[in-house]
Amino acid sequence: MNNRQVLIFVALVASFAAVAALDNGLGLTPQMGWNSWNKFGCDVNEDVIKQTADAIKAHGLDKLGYVYVNIDDCWSSGRDSQDRLIADPKTFPSGIKHLADYVHGLGLKLGIYSDAGLWTCAYRPGSLFYEDIDAQTFAEWGIDYLKYDNCFSLWIFTEKRYTRMRDALNKTGRPIFYSICDWGFSNPTSWAQPIGNSWRTTMDIMNHWWSVIWIYESQV
């Protein structure tokens, strides 16, 4: 390697360092696992999550890095008298803490979903203005991953809303992977690096090859 190549290499390393993600010890490699939405949508329940975790373990996918088992929208039915989120008693009767303990017992990690707006995209309670209490609730339940969506935002600046939840998660003292899901609408590549561990840059992928190609082309 000559001097010019060394300089180019150093410049590339420096450029990657400049866009490093949230420094909370997580996301040093791409997160891998499973999310409930594309297959189950709002038909998700605790049995589905347990069976999926069992299957990941039985097939040895965890040894390949697939360690996150993530509950998407529709798991919550409201808030209690202390404004804490409640798991839907019909679909998650044992509660999220019980589910986290089960998944952790398999050596896997449990993820959950919330929204940086008043409501989730499926009209369940969002975390806007409840960031501290929801982050603490997630930490107490043993959550390892938060997918944070972008519906019903009240037109509050996107970066501000996502920063609020980052700060709330950090205050809990529990390492929680923070996945920013604003669908790329606000150009998160320009602001999300110090805020999240990952950030969405497109709308949902679907179970069609044209969807894969569309996402690829949009990134190009």
Q: Residue 25 has what DSSP assignment?
A: S
Using CA atoms, how far residue 82 sits from 61, 94, 104, 133, 160, in Å, is 39, 20, 27, 9, 25
> Does residue 47 have an active-site annotation?
no
Asked whether 170 and 22 are in contact (CB, 8 A), the reply is no
Distance CA 48, CA 71 (A): 10
Q: Kindly give, in sequence order, each residue whose CB lies less than 8 Å from that of residue 33, ignoring residues fewer than 6 positions away.
A: 56, 66, 67, 68, 69, 70, 108, 109, 111, 145
> Does residue 182 have an active-site annotation?
no
Q: Residue 41 has what DSSP assignment?
A: G
Distance CA 114, CA 96 (A): 14
Q: Residue 157 has what DSSP assignment?
A: -
Among 62, 134, 149, 182, the active-site one is: 149
Among 43, 47, 167, 204, the active-site one is: 204
For 85-144, where are the E strands, in sequence order?
A: 85-87, 109-115
Asked whether 146 and 111 are in contact (CB, 8 A), the reply is yes
Tell me the catalytic residues.
Answer: 149, 204
